[in-house]
Structure 1
Amino acid sequence: MTTPGTRETPRILEDLFLDEGTGIEVETEADADGEETPADIAKPWNPEQIRVNTKQFSLRNVLDMIEEESLELAPDFQRGKVWKPRQKSRLIESVLLQIPLPAFYFAEDSDGSMRVVDGLQRLSTINDFVRGGTDRGFALKDLEYLGLEGKRFEDLPAPWRRRINNAQITVHVIDPTTPPDVMYDIFKRINTGGTPLNAQEIRHCMSKDRSRNLLKEMTFLPEFDAAAPRMSGHVRMNDREMALRFAGFRLMGVEGYARHSSMDAFLQHTTAMLDDPGEVSDERAAALVKEFRKAMSNAYLVFGEHSFRKWPHGSDRHNPINRALFESWSIALLGRDAADLKRRKAAIVKAARKLMTDDYRYLEAITASTGDPARVRYRFAATEEAAEAGR
């Protein structure tokens, strides 16, 4: 299967967040002219499927909804914590100055409960300040106009507290009859905040507890931490996406992937499956966790610290994790006996490194347009062949 290549090896780029490396390799798409473009390409909607209603709420009403758990702020979602104290304080100052906040987007479920899909950081900040619980919220600092330095919500004079509680916000509510794929596309289009959410963060906000808890369980396994160090609880939820990719390919296979228009659509469908006990039973969900554990254990046994990373001959650089390598090697190593892998370890590593050195078609399949079905098929087939080395 290996086809020697003479073209220049693509550069390995690490994804950044707040100017710091995330440990994950950038995943790009390439157009017909070879130019790299973002992976997400919007598809047309049927306008009749888009149902969004605009409402006015007071902040007191919204905070009550959060307290009553009829409005969800995405459990386990940590992005709001990246705001610096100055950013948080100046948001509160804007409310006190009666500066209108940008509109929020909520998604309504069939039972009437709602989830925040745009404005999560802003609303989390306001909720933390006003109803901070045992930690009493946070103290204001580095304000620009108001002399309220060091004040917490409970320290503010009553008129200031009323001004926050009575502040009106505009909320666009996505109707529960809107199809999930359309809702996801709406979310992507309106996701334009200070630090836009990535695809997995969007899926997390839209999903239910069942898939969230399953992905969390998978990514907090010690075997995952060994094979992908410092990924558990990843600030951009790339750990959850990797586990979701494993689940999708395990449940539907490569040909199941090919029936979807993109990786986004495939992972969105996988999320919906995991949220539905009729699609994935409790027993199958538990089995997925065990399979993920074994795949991670086998990967570390064979590749050690280079698991799921590009590792061509002539280089021992510790590259960032590559998602395409993660999905293909985790599936390829899953059904194999640990003792057999240990015996053939050197041969498998040699075959894998040869793919990443000499086979330009393979390198393309794990670097650019990684969601193209032909490239998905090729990398899975080539990886499976490499996993057979030494027999």
Structure 2
Amino acid sequence: MVKKIAKAVGVDMGEEDPAEQKSLSTLEEKYSQQMRQIFPVKIDLPWLTLRTQIEEQIELRPDFQRRDRWNDSKRSRFIESVVMNVPVPPVFLGEEEYGKYVVLDGRQRLTAAYKFLTDELTLEGLQIWKELNGLTFSEIKKKGFAATIERRFLSAILLTHESSPEVKYEVFDRLNTGGIIAEQMEVRNAIFPGPFNQLLHSLSEDEGFRRLWGIPSSKDSAALEKNVLYRQMDDLELVLRFFALRPGTLSGMRFKDRLSDVMNIKNSDYKKNDKLAALDSELFKRAIANCITVFGDDAFKPNKNPNKKSNRSAPYADAVMQAFADHDNVVFTPVVIAKLKKIFTELVTTNRAFMDAVGKGTNGESAIKNRIRLAKEAVNSVLPAPIVKQKKVLLRRKKAAE
């Protein structure tokens, strides 16, 4: 789903390479690797106590909810369905710690319920129960009609604390294929909360990043809400890709598993060392600034033919970002920029290995290794040693002098 939507707005997010999926040698090995424990519990949330449960137990995380938010008309229609006792899909909760839950799917329904029960929602646009239009929950209560709602239950499925984050992701990935609309990054966003996830949100608002991906500024909220990359949280995945592919390899994982693994690891690392976030932020912003310096708004567009649709490409962006990230911006002189433009034009038009790496099975291990390696070699053939390598050399010299 996410790939189809992204391509509809001219962004190639990459694709898995079936040939890269490694087969396990024995059934026992496969069992030990994949048969991880899942602990689901079916529960009913009574509307009578739902407000208290949300305030004390269920973390809605309004700042990190899906971006295709419901308006008051949609919220009102949901409340009308509850009054009519129309069956609604269950919400899915993950137990982060005992007795404390995070919403994995169904945040809009729970948010609508909470806004209604706290009188933040005035019902509107109801077609069946028109008598309730213009009323809040307290006003309905005064009319003696609240019991109609309070006697209802909201179904929920809880993945208990014993279930690992990786298992929770896999469960919701499969639910997604079964028809429940939850994009992969939306699921990661819910399952892997923490300081690294907060950094992804912050970096996705970087003006240079949004400029290169054609995402409107936060100042134009109406245009931003209409942008598919923003609404489906693909912008967060594009930032995450940069950090996940820093080593130039998937470390033996599937692409989507590597993305989840990095979120989990970096959340943990940031909690141990709060300086890491600033270093990662500097690295990402330097890569973006260098891309703009060299290529301008076309930095992530491998096809520069004016007579052909020039889509932005996430696989191509992987290569360019990683190749430029470790270089200081001052080294990009006009002469250097001209040489780099020529080299990258040759990469995307005559270098078959690079062209395949950004166009076929792009989220497979070999494609990722090839495109990042070739891009780095191209940049390093023009520029002096990257910042990271220079620092390592200076450190070795310092130690030798001592």
State the TM-score, normalizing by the size of structure 2: 0.78
- Tell me the distance in 2 between the aligned counterparts of 1:86 and 1:215: 31
- Tell me the distance in 1 between the aligned counterparts of 2:73 and 2:203: 35
- Tell me the distance in 2 between the aligned counterparts of 1:46 and 1:193: 20
On the 8 A contact 1:106/1:117 being kept in 2, the answer is: yes
Structure 1 residues 380, 112: CA separation in 2 closer, same or farther (over 3 Å shift)?
same
Q: Does residue 165 of the first structure (1) align with residue 165 of the second (2)?
A: no
* Structure 1 SS opposite 2:157: strand
Match of 1:177 among 147, 162, 166: 162
- What percent identity do the matched residue pairs reach? 23
Q: Which amino acid aligns with 1:152?
A: T
On the 8 A contact 2:300/2:317 being kept in 1, the answer is: yes
Residue of structure 1 in register with 2:133 after alignment: 149
Unaligned runs of 5+ in 2: 20-29, 219-229, 384-402
Q: Does residue 91 of the first structure (1) align with residue 72 of the second (2)?
A: no
- Tell me the distance in 2 between the aligned counterparts of 1:92 and 1:341: 58
Which has the larger Rg?
2
- Tell me the distance in 2 between the aligned counterparts of 1:157 and 1:297: 57
On the 8 A contact 2:196/2:263 being kept in 1, the answer is: yes
Residue of structure 2 in register with 1:350 after alignment: 342
Q: Does residue 334 of the first structure (1) align with residue 325 of the second (2)?
A: yes
The range that moved more, 206-215 or 289-298, is 206-215
Unaligned runs of 5+ in 1: 1-12, 33-42
Q: Does residue 315 of the first structure (1) align with residue 292 of the second (2)?
A: no
* Structure 2 SS opposite 1:220: coil
On the 8 A contact 2:38/2:167 being kept in 1, the answer is: yes
On the 8 A contact 1:106/1:116 being kept in 2, the answer is: yes
- Tell me the distance in 2 between the aligned counterparts of 1:164 and 1:319: 53
- Tell me the distance in 2 between the aligned counterparts of 1:166 and 1:49: 35
The range that moved more, 327-336 or 142-151, is 142-151
On the 8 A contact 1:100/1:169 being kept in 2, the answer is: no
Match of 1:71 among 32, 44, 58: 58
Structure 1 residues 258, 212: CA separation in 2 closer, same or farther (over 3 Å shift)?
closer
* Structure 1 SS opposite 2:347: helix
Q: Which amino acid aligns with 1:53?
A: V
Q: Does residue 277 of the first structure (1) align with residue 298 of the second (2)?
A: no
* Structure 2 SS opposite 1:277: helix
TM-aligned CA deviation for residue 270 of structure 1? 0.6
Residue of structure 2 in register with 1:381 after alignment: 373
Equivalent residues in 2 for 1:177-326 (5 A)? 177-191=162-176, 196-230=181-215, 234-250=230-246, 253-255=247-249, 257-260=250-253, 262-277=254-269, 281-312=273-304, 314-315=305-306, 319-326=310-317
Larger % of helix: which? 2
Q: Does residue 117 of the first structure (1) align with residue 104 of the second (2)?
A: yes
1:229-252 alpha-carbon deviations (Å, 9 max, x no partner): 4267721212211221222233xx
* Structure 2 SS opposite 1:173: strand
* Structure 2 SS opposite 1:99: coil
1:36-80 alpha-carbon deviations (Å, 9 max, x no partner): xxxxxxx98855601111122213433323223x31223433536
Q: Which amino acid aligns with 2:121?
A: G
- Tell me the distance in 2 between the aligned counterparts of 1:23 and 1:373: 24
1:6-65 alpha-carbon deviations (Å, 9 max, x no partner): xxxxxxx98538xx9556335334556xxxxxxxxxx98855601111122213433323
- Tell me the distance in 1 between the aligned counterparts of 2:270 and 2:72: 45
- Tell me the distance in 1 between the aligned counterparts of 2:75 and 2:179: 13
The range that moved more, 240-249 or 296-305, is 240-249
1:146-169 alpha-carbon deviations (Å, 9 max, x no partner): 433333334325443333333212
RMSD, matched Cα = 3.0
On the 8 A contact 1:89/1:143 being kept in 2, the answer is: no
TM-aligned CA deviation for residue 310 of structure 1? 2.5
On the 8 A contact 1:369/1:375 being kept in 2, the answer is: yes
On the 8 A contact 1:14/1:320 being kept in 2, the answer is: no
Structure 1 residues 55, 180: CA separation in 2 closer, same or farther (over 3 Å shift)?
same
* Structure 1 SS opposite 2:202: helix
On the 8 A contact 1:14/1:22 being kept in 2, the answer is: no
* Structure 2 SS opposite 1:54: strand
- Tell me the distance in 1 between the aligned counterparts of 2:67 and 2:211: 28
TM-aligned CA deviation for residue 173 of structure 1? 0.9
TM-aligned CA deviation for residue 92 of structure 1? 1.3
Residue of structure 2 in register with 1:108 after alignment: 95
Q: Which amino acid aligns with 2:90?
A: A
On the 8 A contact 2:68/2:231 being kept in 1, the answer is: no
